[in-house]
Structure 1
Amino acid sequence: MAARSRAQSFDLAAVQYAAARPSYPAELLDRVEDFAGSPLAGARVADVGAGTGIATALLRERGADVIAVEPGGAMAGELHRVLPDVPVVRGDGNTLPLAATSCDLVTYAQSWQWTDPARSVPEALRVLRPGGALAIWWNTTAFDVPWIREQHARIAHHCGVRAHSAARPSDADAVRLAGLTGLRVTRRQLRWSRTVSLDVHLANIGSRSAFLVLTAADREAFFAAERERLAAVFPGGAVEETYVVDLLVALRP
């Protein structure tokens, strides 16, 4: 139930999510094309757990024919506002509202963790045409950046969640943890960064589910203290956020 509450919490901050969340580097979609063995231009793509359309927009820019799948009403509404020409269907990765063998590519940007791989993997394979690809990716923590590592620990402590290990899983472990064992999987990690205002940075981390399920008082207490800390680290008010995108691409037999 706790996981479900967190997964559903994004509807509380759809506009904030769209405005503050990071996108992804251009190289990411280059690698998706390489590992899938086909271009995105003209491909039929289902972007699942599409949220406000951050990855959907990038796929469209590459010429893909995209359909967005999103369970949250407010998130889907924000996606439609930003990308009015993209079809949006309500649903989630465990039960895709899509026909069998209807897609060349199924993508999960920042959303695979909200699925049950025992259900979502067979669903993705059902929807993919033979030779199609499933691509999942996340912006993950750059633990080698001291202030980011320290902030990660503060967030975990305040929100009562388990802090992630600084050690990244091996390729075999990443495939196992994603539930993709038995498929032909390629993995790549890509480092990138963006510079944003302190306000946008705080809005970004505030749009995470771990904060959205807290009371308003708990959120306000954390962000007041965090603003003071980061103002000392970034006196000019510009925050460089560094990410490591973890990409896994699995091919349908």
Structure 2
Amino acid sequence: MTAVPSHSTRAHSFNAAAAQYAANRPSYPPALLDAVEELAGRPLAGARVVDIGAGTGIATALLHARGAEVVAVEPGEGMAAEFRKAHPGIPIVRGDGNSIPLADSSVDLITSAQAWHWTDPARSVPEALRVLRPGGALALWWNTNVLDVPWAAAQALRAEKFFGIDPVVERSGTGSRAADPDGVLDFTQRLVRWSRRVPVDTHLANIGSHSVFLVHGEEASAAFLAEERTHLLKAFPDGIVEETYDVDLLVALKP
């Protein structure tokens, strides 16, 4: 039986694929940032923000473009190097959500896009509360696959079968219970649906940059992706895939 890769192994797997991640992962729609402002009760413009697990800077750049004074926090060397290359004007420091390298009560908003599930909430929730100013907010979000779209649901099932994924475990990283098991924070949840149209190669490179692919090695991933190309070209004969996502957003104010 193949050993199940550890949480830590999966968390660090992105560093070797940082360029692939930066080039192919989806961004987030303007409506998401509108929802963050609404639920946080303040505009992003002028807000002091720390983006936890910033990766290659996909979300950080959007926050910066909205006028936020944003500092990125990223633990991975490969991801941080890609961030600096793409966003030389945005400050980035090495660290993670379990030990945020910022002073007490120093930021208005903490964000984490696609990354909070790599933290230990027993440590990251108290750290967030330490760093946030009174009335500040913690905003967490994930692009999640939309399983009411038939081709996407079929793809997810094929991946689960091929890699031996437990779908319940795989999808348990999001949601307020996972984000804060002790119930310290009172999260408000919002789903924001959006889509993008990309070439088949971009879609395959996108899904291939997910940790379950990265930790199973090139040979296994290549085999799945080659077969998946055939399925996709049947569903999208013009070679353009419409990816649909629900951004699962959680926002909590500092008590």
Query: TM-score, structure 1 length as denominator?
Result: 0.95
Report SS of the residue matched to 2:134.
strand
Q: Which residue of 1 aligns with 2:70?
A: 66
Code of the aligned partner of 2:202: V
- Is 1:247 aligned to residue 213 of structure 2? no
Deviations 1:56-90 (A, max 9, x none): 01000100001000011110111111110111111
Deviations 1:190-221 (A, max 9, x none): 11100000000000000000000112211111
CA root-mean-square deviation: 1.8
Give the unaligned 5+ runs of structure 1: none
Tell me the distance in 1 between the aligned counterparts of 2:97 and 2:51: 10
- Is 1:216 aligned to residue 218 of structure 2? yes
Q: 2:227 aligns with which of 210, 214, 225?
A: 225
Q: Is contact 2:208-2:214 (8 Å) kept?
A: yes
Q: 1:100 aligns with which of 75, 100, 104?
A: 104
Q: Is contact 2:172-2:178 (8 Å) kept?
A: no
Tell me the distance in 2 between the aligned counterparts of 1:182 and 1:11: 32
Q: Which residue of 2 aligns with 1:20?
A: 24
Q: Which residue of 2 aligns with 1:162?
A: 166
Q: 1:81 aligns with which of 85, 98, 108?
A: 85
Tell me the distance in 1 between the aligned counterparts of 2:161 and 2:34: 37
Q: Which residue of 2 aligns with 1:190?
A: 192
Tell me the distance in 1 between the aligned counterparts of 2:48 and 2:59: 15
Report SS of the residue matched to 1:243.
strand
Report SS of the residue matched to 2:213.
helix
Tell me the distance in 2 between the aligned counterparts of 1:200 and 1:174: 28
Tell me the distance in 1 between the aligned counterparts of 2:184 and 2:13: 33
Q: Which residue of 2 aligns with 1:129?
A: 133
Report SS of the residue matched to 2:109.
strand
Equivalences for 1:144-159 in 2 at 5 Å?
144-159=148-163
Q: Which residue of 1 aligns with 2:180?
A: 179
Q: Which residue of 2 aligns with 1:236?
A: 238
Tell me the distance in 2 between the aligned counterparts of 1:164 and 1:203: 24
Query: TM-score, structure 2 length as denominator?
Result: 0.94
CA change 1:162–1:252 in 2 (3 A) is same
Tell me the distance in 1 between the aligned counterparts of 2:197 and 2:166: 27
1:157 to partner: Cα distance: 1.8
Code of the aligned partner of 2:116: W
1:10 to partner: Cα distance: 0.2
Tell me the distance in 2 between the aligned counterparts of 1:21 and 1:239: 14
Q: Is contact 2:117-2:178 (8 Å) kept?
A: no
1:185 to partner: Cα distance: 2.0
Code of the aligned partner of 2:217: T
1:184 to partner: Cα distance: 2.9
1:168 to partner: Cα distance: 10
Report SS of the residue matched to 1:134.
strand
Q: Which residue of 2 aligns with 1:50?
A: 54
Q: What is the percentage of aligned positions where both structures have the same residue? A: 59
Greater displacement, 216-225 / 153-162: 153-162
Tell me the distance in 2 between the aligned counterparts of 1:71 and 1:224: 32
Tell me the distance in 1 between the aligned counterparts of 2:187 and 2:76: 29
Code of the aligned partner of 1:178: A
Q: Which residue of 2 aligns with 1:116?
A: 120
Report SS of the residue matched to 2:187.
strand
Tell me the distance in 1 between the aligned counterparts of 2:53 and 2:199: 27
